[in-house]
Structure formats: structure tokens, C-alpha cells
Amino acid sequence: MRIIPAIDIIDGKCVRLSKGDYNTKKVYNKNPLEVAKTFEDHGITYLHLVDLDGAKSQHIVNHHVLESICNGTNLKVDFGGGLKSDEDLRIAFESGANQITGGSIAVKKSATFKEWLSKYGCEKIILGADCNNRKIATSGWLETSELDVVDFIKQYEQEGVSYVICTDITKDGMLQGTSNELYKEIMTETKVKLIASGGVSTIDDLIQLKEMGCEGAIIGKAFYEGRITLAQLRELC
């Protein structure tokens, strides 16, 4: 299982939220590149970088942070947040993104998202399936649709999606454990490469996700709050 630390960006700074609520913002470091280098120095290979300003603004905003991390490290970065147009995607890939994650676009402009899959291939495009009580959320989690998360993933698996990041918003940033039953259901109902996100609080959570068969696991607040150490991540990697 791939261990994928997350860096969320607001105003160019490394922050974390609770349940996606922008009012709960906590700044952990004003220099995201410094954080990314620390991950790399401890054997981490992958990074999940989220442009929270972009998610709110409906277009890419913090691409300069993406570029600085890609130029300053060898991390393989998947980038998401506010990618709504072909121009946004061009900027993200030219800034060094290895993969991009599209969530809201897959709901609101499915034809565009399918075009991206066709143009760039399933190895480059990750489906973001962020849900609140099983319902797909969009626009930086500020809106909730009527789409069931498992049905949503099934639909896009038929379109060629291979990688899926599934975040249970009720768990995100709460340090109360992961949505294992939901992840088991997704892996039973589909054959996608599932990247679990939200709720990781201890190294045991990561071990459970690995034993379940998740392709990857994203870790955020548990690291920043000292619940999981870089030494533990290195060992698990």
C-alpha cells in the first residue's frame, strides 16, 4: 500500500481543516516545500497536494506551490482542488503534477472529465469521490449532491477510471478512525485502485487499510498533530 501524506494549501500555506470546514483552518507551516522535503527525507515517495483556495474559487490558484514542490523534490504529486477546465489541467501538468484528482468536475461536467480520461489516460486522472453520509460532495465540500458514492464510482469505472480517492467527510480531520466498512463495500463492488482518505489517527489505521487491500492511504492531521511519526511512516513504507 502506498503511503501518501497530504498537504492542503490556503494562501500558499500548509493547513488542515476539520470535516472540510474552512472556519476550522489551522496553519501548520508557512512553507509547504519545507514540509514536502521532510517527507522525502524520510523515504516518502508520494504526495497528495490540495489547492483549497482553488476548490473554493472553481479554478486553479496555488499552482506556484505545486511547481515549487515538483521542482524542489522528486515526490510524485497528485494535485486536486479547483481543476475545472482544460486550461487548469494544462497548468497543473506543466507545473509538474504526476496525477490530478477531479471530483466536482466529474459530477458537474462529466463530459469534460471523460474527455480528460480519454486524452491523458486512467494512470494520470484520479476520480475524487468525496462523500458526506454516502452522498457525493462538491465545490470544496460546500455542496452535497444526491449521488451515492458507490454508484458514482461504479459509473466511472465503466468509463475507464482506475484510481479513486474516497474521502468520508464526516471522518476527515477528526482523528477518529477510517470508514472501513465503506471501503470494503467499494472494493467488493468494483475493481478500482482505492486510495482511502479521512480519519487516519494511528499507525494501526494504516495497517488495517493495508490488510483490507487499499492501493493507497492518505494521511494528514494525524501526522501534523504528532499521532503518527515520520519514523513510523518510513517503517511502513
Break the chain into its structural domains and give their ranges.
Answer: 2-236
Stretch 34-46: mean pLDDT, rounded? 96
Indicate the SS3 state at residue 139: coil
**Helical pair 149-157 and 180-189, crossing angle rounded to 10 deg:** 30
Closest Cα partner for 188 from 147, 163, 154?
154
Which position has the grid cell 501518501? 4
Please name which of 122, 127, 149, 128 lies closest in space to residue 140, comparing C-alpha atoms.
128
Q: What is the mean pLDDT of residues 76-105?
A: 96
Residues 153-212 pLDDT 10s: 999 999 999 999 999 888 766 667 899 999 999 999 999 999 999 889 999 999 999 999
Q: What is the pLDDT of residue 236?
A: 84
Q: How far apart are CA 179 and CA 221, in angstroms?
A: 16
Residue 172 annotated as catalytic: no
Per-residue pLDDT for 140 more than 70? no
**Bridge partner residues of 18 (DSSP):** 21
Please state, rounded to an integer, the average pLDDT across all residues of the chain: 93
DSSP code for 176: S
Residue 110 has pLDDT above 90, yes or no: yes
- Catalytic-role residue among 8, 88, 172, 205: 8
Higher per-residue confidence, 18 vs 155:
155
Give Cβ neighbours of residue 166 (< 8 Å, ≥ 6 apart): 129, 130, 131, 149, 153, 179, 182, 183, 186, 194, 195, 196, 197
Rounded Cα gap, residues 14 and 26, in angstroms = 9
When pLDDT is cut at 50, 70 and 90, the band that residue 230 belongs to is: very high
Report how far apart, in Å, the C-alpha atoms of 209 and of each of 2, 59, 129, 215, 218 are: 10, 32, 17, 9, 10
- Alpha carbon distance 35, 142 (integer Å): 27
Annotated catalytic, 8? yes
Q: What CATH code is assigned to 2-236?
A: 3.20.20.70
* Active-site entry in 51, 78, 88, 130: 130
Between CA 170 and CA 154 the distance in angstroms is 22
